[in-house]
Amino acid sequence: MVVLKAAKLAGKGVWNTGKSMIASKFNVDSQLEKALKMKDVQEAYRNYQGNPENFKQGLRAYLEQVYSENYKLRNFARTVDSANRATIPIDAALDYFNIMGGVGYAAKGLKTLAMLPGYLAYDLYYIAKTKDLLGGLVINPVYEILSWASLGALPHVLAKYSKQADKYMVKEASKRFLSKISRKNLEDVVDSGSDVIARIGGREERRRAA
């Protein structure tokens, strides 16, 4: 009974712990490198006739714009990842109790049930922001099932939700940027000495309000 109660309390309390374990900021330079490795972005970069730095600067601006629209999703993902990592020692201990013939599986199940509202809330918010039904309804639940079935829930070390949010933002920013330069010369979007983010942000706000 002590093990079961401890697992349940751990599941309820863990959302408020360990938030510093996952990087809190969206690293624009790192995500710009990832965006530039995307096949469609590489093709557009090769075909671009202007200053290559303008291309990168414009893409960077869109990355920052998309992050400003989705920072709450990124923070939510970081919280889930941090909670998952914080409970790895608990999962390992419960697996040990199970191996030794104890009540590890039952306690681990209670801990997972206690954390389930947090997972569901994230998946619903993720779907609402990204419209990614496959990710929210299939991939994320399967990931948690696999983690539950693994010794010590080791897949939780992967920071899967933060990476998922970052991947969405890179993809969305790249899509918007490529759509813009396909309709208009990038020199009209980015020019030397301009406040790139402010200009693009203003245009995006007007586009969404239209």
Higher pLDDT, 74 or 1: 74
Residue 142 has a pLDDT of 95
pLDDT of 88 higher than 80: yes
Q: Is residue 132 part of a domain?
A: yes
pLDDT of 78 higher than 80: yes
Residue corresponding to tokens 């291309």: 55
Q: Is residue 89 classed as helix, strand or coil in its secondary structure? A: helix
pLDDT in tens, 48-62: 888 999 999 999 999
Q: Is residue 25 part of a domain?
A: no
Q: Is residue 22 part of a domain?
A: no
Q: What is the DSSP string of 94-126?
A: HHHHHHTTSSHHHHHHHHHHHHHHHHHHHHHHH
Q: What is the dihedral of CA 5, 9, 12, 13, to 10 degrees?
A: -170
Range of the domain at 126: 2-14+30-209
Nearest in space to 95 (alpha carbons), one of 106, 79, 85: 106
Rounded-to-integer distance, Cα 135 and Cα 123, Å: 8
Domain count, the chain: 1
Q: Is residue 23 part of a domain?
A: no
Computed on alpha carbons and rounded to an integer, the radius of gyration of the chain in Å comes to 21
Residue 89 has a pLDDT of 83
Residue 209 has a pLDDT of 42
Residue corresponding to tokens 């919280």: 79
Q: Is residue 204 classed as helix, strand or coil in its secondary structure? A: helix
Contact call for residues 21 and 88 (beta carbons, < 8 A): no
Both tokens assigned to 9: 């309390």
Q: Is residue 87 part of a domain?
A: yes
Task: Name the pLDDT band for 6 (thresholds 50, 70, 90).
Answer: very low
CA 180 vs CA 54, 68, 176, 204: distances in Å: 13, 19, 6, 11
pLDDT in tens, 102-161: 565 667 777 778 889 999 999 999 999 999 999 999 999 999 988 888 877 888 889 999
Residue 124 has a pLDDT of 97
Q: Is residue 20 part of a domain?
A: no
Higher pLDDT, 192 or 98: 98
Q: Would you tell me how many other CB atoms lie within 10 Å of the CB of residue 138? A: 11
Residue 206 has a pLDDT of 41
Q: Is residue 171 part of a domain?
A: yes
Q: Is residue 67 part of a domain?
A: yes
Residue corresponding to tokens 């360990």: 18
pLDDT in tens, 8-35: 444 444 445 444 445 556 789 999 999 9
Contact call for residues 116 and 53 (beta carbons, < 8 A): no
